[in-house]
Structure 1
Amino acid sequence: MRTSQHVLFERSEMKDRHLVRKKIREHVADKAKLPILIFPEGTCINNTSVMMFKKGSFEVGGTIHPVAIKYDPRFGDAFWNSTKHSMMTYAFNVLTSWAIVCNVWYLPPMVKE
């Protein structure tokens, strides 16, 4: 079974950002490795809009294949508003929902010019 390695970091640590960029660049350069999945936005804001992507993932020199995901809250809501519900309430709601439905759009590949 093939698995990918995780690259974890602390956003507030500047040295971690440089290390992550280096690890991603090395991963992209190694053609034997599987593609890496990055969530450059890093934040979900109530499923109504998209925040500006962080530029770091675009600076590593690889081809970017953007994917947009929008959740449909009719049967169950994947968005957790921590100001309204506790984590336990959210987990209960997700686990007892009829379904978590989403639309996925695969956008054209992008290369930094």
Structure 2
Amino acid sequence: MSVFISESIASTGAVNQDSPYSFIIMLLVFGLIFYFMILFPQQKRAKEHKKMMCAISKGDEVLTNGGLLGRVIKVTETGYITLALNENTEVIIKRDFVTAMLPKGTLKQL
């Protein structure tokens, strides 16, 4: 007799036989949950951001990743845009760093 586990508790008598496919089914279910909770929304956001980047045109007011607010004054074919932060300051940034397009007149309200 064992000191830690008595024989009556250790031996249940019944052997649990699961289906050999239950592990595969469980992995598939977790994979689907992972896809619909994480990957699908991320792909949707990336597609919307790419669409927004392609729609940037002269005169749009944008917010960058660095927190700069400005009006687009020039769009180049190489993927760069020129932002006017105020009357004297212009900044050239890559189009990828635009986070959001702001409604017209936002800069005047600030």
TM-score, length-normalised on structure 1?
0.22
Answer 1 or 2: higher relative contact order, Cα 8 Å, separation at least 6.
Answer: 1
TM-score, length-normalised on structure 2?
0.23
